Amino acid sequence: MNYRHIYHAGNFADVMKHALLTALVNALRRKSTPFSVLDTHAGTGLYDLSGPQAQSTGEWRDGIGRLLDTDPDAPDLAPLQSWLGIVRGIIHAHDGKLFYPGSPELIARLLRPGDSLTCCELHPEDQRSLKALFRHNPAVSVHGRDGYQAITALLPPRTAKRGLTIIDPPFEQRDEFTHLAAAVIEARARFPGGIIAAWYPIKHRAPPRAFLHALKDAGQRNLLTAELTLRPPLDPGRLNGCGLLVAGPPYRFDEEARSILDALRPYMGEDETEADVEWVVPE
C-alpha cells in the first residue's frame, strides 16, 4: 500500500496500457447493451505531471511527453487517436497544464448512459482523490477495498452481463505474479462473459513466462498478450518492458493491438524497442 503511481504516471508503460485499454472499451461500445468495468487497482484517476512527484522522476517525458507535440492528424498515429484525443482534451480543459488521465478517468469518459465503472483503491490518500474526482459522476463508484478481494466481492457485476475487469497491481510483492494468475482465473470463473486485462512488468523473462505457464496449466484458453520492450529484458533491476494479458479478447483485437504497438514503438524507445502480440493459448 506504499505504492504511489504519480511518480510513474504517463511513462511508456502507462502509454502502452492506456492505448490498449481504450481500444478494449471502444470494442465494448460497439454493442448497444450496457457494460460494466471493474478497475481493481485504480490509483487517483488523474495525475498532475507538473507536480513535484512526477517531476522528480521525469518518467512521463519519455512516455506521453514524446507524443504531445505530434501532429494530431499524422497517419502513423491513427491507431492511437481515440486515446490520445482524450489525453489532449483533458490537457486543453486544464488550460494547457499537464494533467494525465489514469485508467479510471479514461474509462469514465467513454461510458454511455447505462454503462458503469467500479474503482478500487486501498491507499487512503489516493482513494480520497479518486472519490473527489468522481463525486459528481453517478456512473462511477469508488471502493476502499483490496483489489484482489474485489474480484470475489464484486464479480459478476449486478448491472450488466458483459464488461471488462482491469487488474493492474503495483508489483510490490515478490509473489505478485502468483496472485495475478489466481486473480485472472477467479475473475474468469465469476464473470465468464467478461474481458480480463492484466498488466505485468517485464524486467527479465522468467517471471512473465511462469505467469503465462500457470494460466495454461490451469486450463485457461483464449489468452492474448501484447508486449512492448524498450531493451532486451536481461537486467532484473530495471523495468525493461511491460505486457498486457487479455483473456477473452474482442473479435480481431489481436490485429488492433498490433497496430497500436506498431504506432507506439518509434516514439517509446530507441533502436532496441520491440513490440509483440501473441496468442498464448487460442480459443
- 168, 175, 271, 276: which one is catalytic? 168
Residues in the chain: 283
Three-state SS string over the chain comes to CCCCHHHCCCCHHHHHHHHHHHHHHHHHHCCCCCCEEEECCCCCCEEECCCHHHHHHCHHHHCHHHCCCCCCCCHHHHHHHHHHHHHHHHHHHCCCCCEEECHHHHHHCCCCCCCEEEEECCCHHHHHHHHHHCCCCCCEEEECCCHHHHHHHHCCCCCCCCEEEEECCCCCCCCHHHHHHHHHHHHHHHCCCCEEEEEEEECCCHHHHHHHHHHHHCCCCCEEEEEEECCCCCCCCCCCEEEEEEECCCCCHHHHHHHHHHHHHHHHCCCCCEEEEEEEECC
Helix axes 147-154, 176-190, angle to 10 degrees: 10
Closest CA to 169 of 141, 153, 150: 150
168 is catalytic: yes
Closest CA to 264 of 101, 30, 62: 62
Q: The cell 520491440 sits on which residue?
A: 274
Any idea which residues carry the catalytic annotation? 168
